[in-house]
Amino acid sequence: MAAQDKLDILIIGGSGFVSGTLAKTALAQGHQVWTVTRGQRPVPEGAHSLVADRHDTEHFAALIQATDQQWDLVVDCIGYEPDAARQDLAVFCQRARYLVFISTDFVFDPTQRHFPQGEESEHYASQGYGGKKRLCELELINGDAGAMQWTVLRPCHIYGPGSLLGCLPLHGRDADLLDKMKAGHSLQLVGGGHFLQQPIFAADLAELTLSCYGQASSYGQIFCSAGPDIVESRTYYRIIAEVLGVNLQVVELPVAQHLAENPQTAPFLCHRIYDLARLRAAGLAVPSTPLAIGLRRHVESLL
């Protein structure tokens, strides 16, 4: 996409963390932005707000039809069920040139990962959040998009202003994390926080999403989407502690015991590191915000 190109962009979402960051980034670039939300939270100033619950499929389709609008780019930030991907194809194949679907790195079976993990795998999650996202991907791969092109992005842990901090049980998205750390409390990290992570700054994910438009190399492709730094989870928390000016104190929780008691947390308890070669080769905006800088911005936004 050339710098001077101004797009008509529809974001399914727009009031949440990822979708809101995307909407603000697109507006800052001068694009025309529409959002589709349930109307329960404000959307960024300057966006055209459409109100519908996508689970009310008839109302959602009628609303989109009534706009009589053609979009250059539609971004689905909130599709969690295969019905959502089918809806994207049915509703937008005649109304959008291009679709970006935000998936997740949880589509990979946590017990069968490669290091670093590339886009292709013989072992995908079959249940839970990751399993459903994989079914969404398959709907796009096997469905009929007509003339509309599509791309899937698989971000790992997303952080940045607009969200809570924390990347590992028991302190994932912990609303009290900063207060606990400032008070000198120890953090209980499964495996001592030694799992490797590659967090992506939300603004970088937004830039990556927008950079897909017009790039033929991204059509029909899936991309692992991660930040530039590979760190242990405890390093993530240590950076936060340094911003707060406190010492990080960690209590290690045994992995096997935690998994036995909380099997649903398995996707978090593995090394989450990715091969970004396909992303670079496609000429897309490779995430570049150093973790130390991004986390400082995130912490400062919460103080």
The answer to the question of residue 214 being in a domain is yes
Domain with 204 in it: 8-161+199-228+273-287
The answer to the question of residue 254 being in a domain is no
- Dig out the tokens for 277 from the structure: 């070669």
With CA atoms as reference, report the closest residue to 99 among 35, 10, 15, 217.
10
pLDDT at 39 over 80: yes
Quote the pLDDT of residue 72: 98
| Helix (H/G/I), strand (E/B), else coil: 48 | strand
The answer to the question of residue 260 being in a domain is no
The answer to the question of residue 31 being in a domain is yes
Share of the chain above pLDDT 70, in %: 99
pLDDT tens figures, 201-236 = 999 999 999 999 999 999 999 999 999 999 999 999
pLDDT band at 5 (very low <50, low <70, confident <90, very high): confident
Quote the pLDDT of residue 173: 97
The answer to the question of residue 109 being in a domain is yes
pLDDT tens figures, 21-31 = 999 999 999 99
Mean pLDDT calculated for residue range 265-287: 97
The answer to the question of residue 251 being in a domain is no
- Dig out the tokens for 30 from the structure: 């001068």
The answer to the question of residue 145 being in a domain is yes
Quote the pLDDT of residue 3: 46
The answer to the question of residue 184 being in a domain is no
pLDDT tens figures, 184-210 = 999 999 999 999 999 999 999 999 999
What are the residues facing 187 on neighbouring strands? 250
Q: What is the CATH number of the domain that holds 123?
A: 3.40.50.720
pTM for the whole structure: 0.97
Non-local (6+) Cβ contacts of 135 within 8 A are 81, 82, 85
From CA 21, how far away is CA 4, in angstroms rounded? Answer: 21
Query: Count of domains in the chain?
Result: 1
